[in-house]
Amino acid sequence: MSKLVAPHGGKGLTICLLEGAALEAEKKKAAGLKKVAVSPRVKGDLIMIGIGGFSPLTGFMTKADWKSVCDKYTLTDGTFWPVPVTLDVSQADANEIKEGQEIALVDAKNNELMATMKVTEKWAMSEADKKYECEKIFMGEGTKTADDFWKIAKNDHPGVQMVMNQKEVNLAGTVKVLSEAEYPTKYAGIYQRPAESRKIFEERGWSEIAALQLRNPMHRSHEYLAKIAVEVCDGVFIHSLVGNLKAGDIPAEVRVKCIDVLVKKYFIEKHVVQGGYPLDMRYAGPREALLHATFRQNYGCSRMIIGRDHAGVGDFYGMFEAQTIFDKIPTSSDPGKNLLCTPLKIDWTFYCKKCDGMASLRTCPHGKEDRVLLSGTMLRKGLSEGTPIADHFGREEVLDILREYYAGLEEKVEIKTHSAATGQK
């Protein structure tokens, strides 16, 4: 009997990835189906559906599920789900597809066959619908009005831009996933299916595991968060995004190299598992924090580390809005439909010169002049611009790897920072 938290949705891991004879048969059938190209975001969602990372989802959402997720944080059957998972196609493609028809989904970048899908519903995604989704999913509590949000979101929020650039029609239906794309080979030893991480945790006898979400290289604050988790749980799952990021973010292979050196030199390795997952960032702040906890439950984690400005971008969200949202989500009388991965809420962390170590707002009595404020965005900004990195910001072994990466870049991207991270808030 497993001691791990059950997969989300009460149905176990819903695996839609085919293997063996079933895979070969479906590939042959797909050759005769209409091909529809999918975006990088959809590709990542598709793989997560395939490997059970998005359990209990077995396909892309209907309009009713989309609306329910936006409004109520649940699917229409009452199962908790925090962000839409939809498949957009052009009007021209939609005109050639009938409800009940099977289609083949291919990677828009390289035309690789990714999945087959039985289309159960076609529904228009108007400009008004797109704006509605953006306001529900991306608008933080600090934004007073929708007008205030749109003044900056259309140009400055990558998640909003992603939604507004979607095509005109969404397709709903179940999928059979035929490929995990480049992830198993490009990130061998890091990329994992939920069944694989669960097996590792069970072999170690763990029951309480905290997930640390990473899209930036690990600096001292991340290290501190991970070590707090090790103190209160059986272990920590350092889980890196290996899908697409926004311009200026550091590639996964560089971040993985940084984590490797940190774990080897500054952790007791038996308390740490490193993994990677194939999604694109949505930069949805609080809503994305909920998504991170939801799929980490499928990976076997009972806790989700939530620190300052989790999954945020710029000044769109309050510093701790991603923590307080967990206190406001709906619950059902059916435990299987509820989010069971709970937040491990940790205050703003930093290096304090007077404390002579890592600390937080809950533990350090000193002033901001004594603190080295730690932020992944600030680290990227300093490295990109070639400015000195403050003492105690990161481990020198990690900074050496990052400096080598930035030295090899031919083009630099402007890095925008959260005002809190710069001490301006």
Contact 81, 74 (CB under 8 A): yes
Of 38, 36, 18, the C-alpha closest to 28 is 18
List the beta bridge partners of residue 273: 237
| Residue 135 tokens, joined | 């306001």
Judging by beta carbons within 10 Å of its beta carbon (0-12, 13-18, 19+), is residue 51 exposed, middle or buried?
A: buried
Q: Which residues are part of the catalytic machinery?
A: 215-216
Q: What is the distance between the alpha carbons of residues 9 and 185, in angstroms, rounded to a whole number?
A: 30
| CB-based contacts of 365, cutoff 8 Å, min separation 6 | none
Q: Name the packing angle between helices 396-407 and 376-385 (round to 10°).
A: 50
Give the CB-side neighbour count of residue 251, counting CA atoms within 13 A: 9
| Residue 317 tokens, joined | 């969200």
Contact 114, 50 (CB under 8 A): no
